[in-house]
Amino acid sequence: MRISKEKCVGCANCVPVCPVGAIYIGKDGLSEINTETCVECHNCYRSLSCEHLPPSLTRLIRKILKKVSLRFQPDPDVCPTEAIVSEELEWPRIVRQAFSDPMVTHESTGVHGRGTEEVKTNDVSHRIKEGDVGIVVEFGRPGVGTYFREVQKVTQVLAGQGATFEEGNPVAQMMTNKDQGDIREDILDEKVLSCIVEITVPLDETSRMLNTLKEVSKTVETVISIGVSTVCDNQGNDAVKDILIQQGYEIGWAKLNLGLGRVTNATFSSGGNQ
Ligand code: SF4
Ligand code: SF4
């Protein structure tokens, strides 16, 4: 993403719309993007509507009005001179957009943005089977972002503990060695708005893996959230809940997949209830 110095009039409307604080007003009074911080989410480009005021005249009017303590300020959701420019991105920078822009389809999965369905479609995909626990580790959200080198700190430790990475997950697609949790070297310095690592472990490994995550999270320079999922048995019992409570987690809320995509409960399927 780029801001045209020729067009920008320094109204600062674009500054608050950047989720990672990459836009600022420079010494020349015009807007700039810190390209290192920018995750190419395209929020600034998309969320402001554009007017087509002449930049030189608009700057002059703003200057004159300022002298008499008045202001010409466009509506807050407008870039008055269409100064924000979306640029064609090349590898590896394009990885930033693939993981950060919810309007872009992730090539590895065909899903938008971070490109993972997690376990939301488990009734169809059967990613997590009975007796297994799925753990998702989300990096960078909200509003912090993460470099892949920070993500790799965690994936390498998880791999060393025997975790199995979900094949269809976009971060796993960026790995050169899943047994070691190595992410391809050319994207380690790329920053994204957020990304999710998905692993599967046997139920009795849950506590050990959560403890491992707790330890390694202390070494990572971003925010980490952890989600745990399981498949209830035919009676609706959830075996992982007690483990989480023992671990000191509060069970506050959950997403439930009712299995409407496919009948997975033998009790119902044998009775013909769909
Ligand atoms: S909204 Fe447009 S004109 Fe205003 S500071 Fe941002 S880029 Fe410049
Ligand atoms: S593309 Fe996203 S991260 Fe980059 S400057 Fe715009 S809003 Fe900020």
Number of domains comprising the chain: 2
Instruction: Give a yes or no: residue 242 inside a domain.
Output: yes
CA distance 210 to 133: 11
Backbone angles phi, psi at 224, to 5 degrees: -125, 135
Say how many Å lie between the CA of residue 92 and the centre of ligand 1.
27
Q: CATH no. for residue 50?
A: 3.30.70.20
Say how many Å lie between the CA of residue 39 and the centre of ligand 2.
6
Instruction: Give a yes or no: residue 246 inside a domain.
Output: yes
Q: Which pLDDT score, from 0 to 100, does residue 102 have?
A: 85
Pocket probe mutation, ligand 1, options 4, 6, 7, 9, max atoms within 8 Å of Cβ: 9
Protein residue whose Cα sits closest to atom 4 of ligand 1: 11
> Do 74 and 184 lie in a common domain?
no
CA distance 25 to 48: 17
Give the domain range for residue 117: 110-271
Instruction: Give a yes or no: residue 104 inside a domain.
Output: no
Instruction: Give a yes or no: residue 202 inside a domain.
Output: yes
Work out the angle at residue 114's Cα, subtended by the Cα atoms of residues 110 and 119, and round it to the nearest 5 degrees. Answer: 80
Work out the angle at residue 217's Cα, subtended by the Cα atoms of residues 212 and 220, and round it to the nearest 5 degrees. Answer: 140
Instruction: Give a yes or no: residue 100 inside a domain.
Output: no
Q: Using a 6 Å cutoff on CB, does residue 43 contact ligand 2?
A: yes
User: pTM to 2 decimals?
Assistant: 0.86
Pocket probe mutation, ligand 2, options 34, 36, 39, 94, max atoms within 8 Å of Cβ: 39
Which residues share a beta bridge with 201? 133
Of ligand 2's listed atoms, the one at least distance from the Cα of 21 is: 8
Query: What string of pLDDT tens digits covers the 274 residues of the chain?
Result: 999 999 999 999 999 999 999 999 999 999 999 999 999 999 999 999 999 999 999 999 999 999 999 888 889 999 999 999 999 999 999 999 999 998 877 665 555 555 566 666 777 777 788 889 999 999 999 889 999 999 999 999 999 999 999 888 899 999 999 999 999 999 999 999 999 999 999 999 999 999 999 999 999 999 999 989 888 887 878 888 889 999 888 877 777 777 676 655 555 444 333 3
> Do 38 and 126 lie in a common domain?
no
3-state DSSP of the chain? CEECCCCCCCCCCCHHHCCCCCEEECCCCCEEECCCCCCCCCHHHHHCEECCCCHHHHHHHHHHHHHCCCCCCCCCCEECCCCEECCCCCCCCHHHHHHHCCCCECCCCCCECCCCCCCCCHHHHCCCCCCEEEEEEEECCCCCCEEHHHHHHHHHHHHHCCCEECCCCHHHHCEEECCCCEECHHHCCCEECCEEEEEEEEHHHHHHHHHHHHHHHCCCCCCEEEEEEECCCCCCCCHHHHHHHHCCCCCCCCCCCCCCCCCCCHHHHHHCCC
Q: Which pLDDT score, from 0 to 100, does residue 274 have?
A: 30
Say how many Å lie between the CA of residue 9 and the centre of ligand 1.
6
Q: Which of 173, 185, 116 is CA-nearest to residue 149?
A: 185
Instruction: Give a yes or no: residue 157 inside a domain.
Output: yes
Q: Using a 6 Å cutoff on CB, does residue 18 contact ligand 2?
A: yes
Last residue of a domain, one of 40, 68, 85: 85
**Radius of gyration (C-alpha) of the chain in whole angstroms:** 23
Q: Which pLDDT score, from 0 to 100, does residue 272 have?
A: 34
Q: CATH no. for residue 118?
A: 3.30.70.260
> Do 148 and 190 lie in a common domain?
yes
> Do 120 and 238 lie in a common domain?
yes
Instruction: Give a yes or no: residue 90 inside a domain.
Output: no
Q: Which amino acid is at 145?
A: G
Q: Are 51 and 82 in contact (CB under 8 A)?
A: yes
* Pairing outcome for strands 195-202 and 224-230: unpaired
Q: Which pLDDT score, from 0 to 100, does residue 266 have?
A: 56
Which ligand gives the minimal distance to the CA of 53?
1
Instruction: Give a yes or no: residue 93 inside a domain.
Output: no
> Do 125 and 77 lie in a common domain?
no
Which residues share a beta bridge with 108? none
Other Cβ atoms closer than 10 A to 31: 25
